[in-house]
Chains A and B, each alone.
Chain A
């Protein structure tokens, strides 16, 4: 790993978030729920978190994600933007998403 990556990543509208290689989103057929697997921890994302995580594919920018989610939830972009960026910053800090 290079020294450059040893700096905290901060979310912006241009970020193209992608799940870290050691984080895996998969459907658990035993519990019939989506699970995010990571070292030592298993997360059970709720519906909104799941919709955000599914867009973390390295292709969608944060701005595009907000537009898509606003459309999906029939909500105002300005209204949901802080929630989406807050979520992505938190998950970046938890080393689950690369911004």
Chain B
């Protein structure tokens, strides 16, 4: 590691693992933390002050469901006072009257609201939560009424991919400035449920056409950000914009990680905020320095002209598929294990029954014990 360490720009704050929904594609770790493990208000405020001092410009307040924290307004106000851009990432069910307006008043900059389906039946089935869709529609209306800008986030997988055109119409009808069509990344609960979530190749190709056509048609009307599915890719995503390069995340108990799935790399040790200062963690944590820059890379990354475009791809995916966190992300066509991605797609599809109901889901729940062997489908 010879390159200078630049200050971080973005921070994902997972304020809690509690959530009213039970989506099987959740990116949270399979071992969820209970409420009594959450950092208290003073801890988060101190962390946000240090983050601003360190150079963080954007904080994504997420979870679990961040609105379950009764101190959310206080946390937003602290960040706003420091000029940090705040983005609230919410499922939008069960938010009490007046709270959205209070967050806007406290200085909240933007809300990202998830929809599990474009229709009520899909939303209820995926999130395992009755009445969720109507509540989300109501939340969207309240966000707009409070004058806050709105992004609709649609996590896409086999059970709602055909609804992509309807998600686009839904986002337009709700007055969203932005729509994220985000194909599920197989980490956390999504990795556990990979077989049940994996789409078919033809459906992915149709989706790409639909989204690209809509991006063109809606230029200047609504932005559509498209997160393509890794398993169907040729090159990997530059995960987190490069490991410990300009962003990091904090778990509900204050553990600071380079990305939300980094805990799956068992050889790494992560520090908790409070034990160490944020600046010390960012600069000195062995986990942050493990895959920083390019000097850790093996072949084919080591001699690849794309090494500062992809940054080796996702370390956690390398861990999950190749069994080695320092390997090239198998999503890359240059990886010797790239064919394994195709094999995992085929294995998932071949075990699919004619019935497309998500009966095979292991719904996300705190305290549910699960066995996970990601290298087999």
Contact = CB atoms under 8 A, between A and B. Distances in A.
Interface string A15-56: 000001110101010110001011110100000000000000
A78 interface: no
B175 A1 contact: yes
A42 B57 contact: yes
Interface stretch (B220-228, B267-275, B314-322): B220-228
B368 interface: no
Contact of B220 (A26, A38, A42, A93): A93
Interface in B52-76: 53-55, 57-58
A30 B109 contact: no
Contacts of A92: 220
Contact of B55 (A5, A10, A30): A30
Interface residues of B, number: 29
A22 B225 contact: no
A95 B222 CA distance: 8
A37 B172 contact: no
B223 A42 contact: no
B213 to A, nearest CB: 16
Contact of A31 (B7, B219, B220): B7
B223 A95 contact: yes
Contacts of B158: none
Contacts of B9: 42
B147 A21 contact: yes
Given A1-B175, A30-B54, A39-B109, A7 B151 contact: no
A42 to B, nearest CB: 6
B43 interface: no
B144 interface: yes
Given A1-B144, A95-B223, A28 B178 contact: no
Interface of B: 7, 9-10, 53-55, 57-58, 83, 85, 87, 109-110, 112, 144, 147-149, 151, 172, 175, 177-178, 219-223, 225
Given A24-B85, A39-B110, A39-B112, 12 more contacts: A7-B221, A8-B221, A10-B220, A21-B147, A24-B109, A28-B55, A28-B57, A31-B55, A37-B85, A40-B87, A40-B225, A93-B220
Interface of A: 1, 5-10, 20-22, 24, 26, 28, 30-31, 35, 37-40, 42, 92-95
29 contacts: A1-B175, A6-B221, A7-B221, A8-B219, A8-B221, A20-B177, A21-B147, A22-B110, A22-B148, A22-B149, A24-B109, A28-B57, A30-B53, A30-B54, A31-B55, A35-B57, A38-B85, A39-B109, A39-B110, A39-B112, A40-B87, A40-B151, A42-B10, A42-B57, A92-B220, A93-B219, A93-B220, A94-B223, A95-B178
